[in-house]
Amino acid sequence: MAKYDYLIIGAGLFGATIAQQLTKKGFKVLVIDQRPHLGGNCYTEAKDGINIHKYGAHIFHTSNDQVWQYVNQFARFNHYVNRPKVHYQNKIYSFPINLMTLYQLWNVTTPEQAQKKLDTVKIPNPNPQNLEEWILSQVGREIYEIFIKGYTTKQWDRDPKELPSFIIKRLPIRLTFDDNYFNDCYQGIPIGGYTSMIQKMLEGIELKLNTDFFSDRKNLTSQAKHMVFTGKIDKYFNYCHQELEYRSLRFETEKLSIPDFQGNAVINYTDAAVPYTRIIEHKHFEFLTTDHTYVTHEYPDTWTTKKIPYYPVNNDANTQIYQKYQTLAQKEKNVFFGGRLAEYKYYDMDDTIEAAFNLLKRLP
């Protein structure tokens, strides 16, 4: 007789949402995670009164009312709005590109002046063949060099000439002074950190950390009637259709005995000569006034199976491989797949919760 109705593999936001909702419906649930903590990549670690975003800066933003109401049951959100800056060759620029950025670049002071200048710098191209050509046709060489070229090269370890233009689906240039990175209705950081929010979601639910599903697959599978798997789908099927590719990241975090290092939570370093892509100063997510601070340098990294898979590489080859795994997944009995690793998809946190809500409708 199975001890649990559901075994949830992964205590990230997807697994936590599924576990919380199933438990609310009266099912008996066990959640496992291979890491020593819950929260997946949203995990925040409290250090000297500051919540460190251990796996990269996480800003919650959504326009989905259902998702927003859902997370607000487990945390109060502060008024943080993401207004990153760009650092390029010792100059700071307002970002995402807006009228202030164009003023800093070209001294234009009105939307009309900005539009005129933009029209003169664009390099028309009716049939752009790659990312570089497409961006040059949209914004010209200066903006491309300062904001896109070095950053994209570092992020993907490839020259933008070798990248398809769909990687940057749209290049928002605002001819207003709006420098809010996101266009969503709701935005903020959970007060107390994401870990505390996800702990609340999992309150009263059995959780086993440091437990890798693949190390005890047979035994764990036998303990539940159904499983929801949020880990890597290719690994679940023993890589029978090749490995899916990822980009990884490396984070270097240090404590500084000064109250403020950079005056902002996120500064992007877009110069190709600087090896990191961003510096995060965590205290600014929470408006803290401590006399110390923590900063993290974020470096893009080549992925190997020993590293954390951060970003799926959704090119044609990987999409085809993923589709083969998806076909296998559909044939599995009593196992359901979801979340960023099982669906091989970049999901923002709100998309993750929405995807979990959608899967819940299909669960027995």
Which residues are part of the catalytic machinery?
170, 174, 247, 278, 298, 346, 348
Stretch 58-87: interaction string toward ligand FAD, x if CB under 6 A: xxx---------------------------
| Sequence-distant (≥ 6) Cβ neighbours of residue 280 within 8 angstroms | 53, 56, 57, 265, 266, 295, 296, 298
For tokens 């904001």, name the residue.
147
In the complex, minimum distance from the CB of residue 292 to ligand FAD, in angstroms, rounded to a whole number: 24
**Least Cβ distance, residue 301 to ligand FAD (angstroms):** 11
Query: Which secondary-structure segment (H or E) carries 153?
Result: helix 150-156
Distance (Å, whole) CA 294 – CA 306: 26
Q: Is 42 in the site for ligand FAD (CB under 6 A)?
A: yes
Q: Which of 339, 344, 354, 359 binds ligand FAD (CB under 6 A)?
A: 339
Counting contacts by CB under 6 A, is residue 9 touching ligand FAD? yes
Candidates 174, 278, 282, 340: give the one binding ligand FAD (CB under 6 A).
340
**Residue 232 backbone phi and psi in degrees, to 5:** -75, 125
Near ligand FAD in 209-228, by CB under 6 A: 212-214
Number of residues engaging ligand FAD in binding (CB under 6 A): 34
Q: Write down the least CB distance from residue 318 to ligand FAD, Å.
A: 17
CB closer to ligand FAD out of 60 and 70: 60
116 Cβ contact partners less than 8 Å away, ≥ 6 residues apart = none
Query: Does 160 interact with ligand FAD (rule: CB under 6 A)?
Result: no
Given 51, 94, 230, 277, the residue binding ligand FAD (CB under 6 A): 230
- Tally of CB atoms within 10 A around 152: 23
41 contributes a contact to ligand FAD by CB under 6 A:
yes
Choose the binding region for ligand FAD from 35-43, 113-121, 172-180, 256-264 (rule: CB under 6 A). 35-43
Q: What is each CA distance from 38 to 171, 205, 263, 315, 360, in whole angstroms?
A: 35, 12, 30, 31, 21
Give the C-alpha separation, 196 to 54, whole Å: 14
Asked if 150 interacts with ligand FAD (CB under 6 A), we say: no
Under the binding rule (CB under 6 A), the answer on residue 231 touching ligand FAD is yes
44 within 8 A of 51, measured Cβ to Cβ: yes
Answer whether 187's CB lies under 8 Å from 5's CB: no
Residue whose CB is less far from ligand FAD, 318 or 352: 352
**Which residues, 6 or more positions from 190, have their beta carbon under 8 angstroms from its beta carbon?**
60, 71, 74, 75, 76, 77, 78, 196, 197
Q: Which positions lie near ligand FAD, rule CB under 6 A? A: 9-15, 32-35, 40-42, 56-60, 212-214, 230-231, 249, 310, 339-341, 347-350, 352
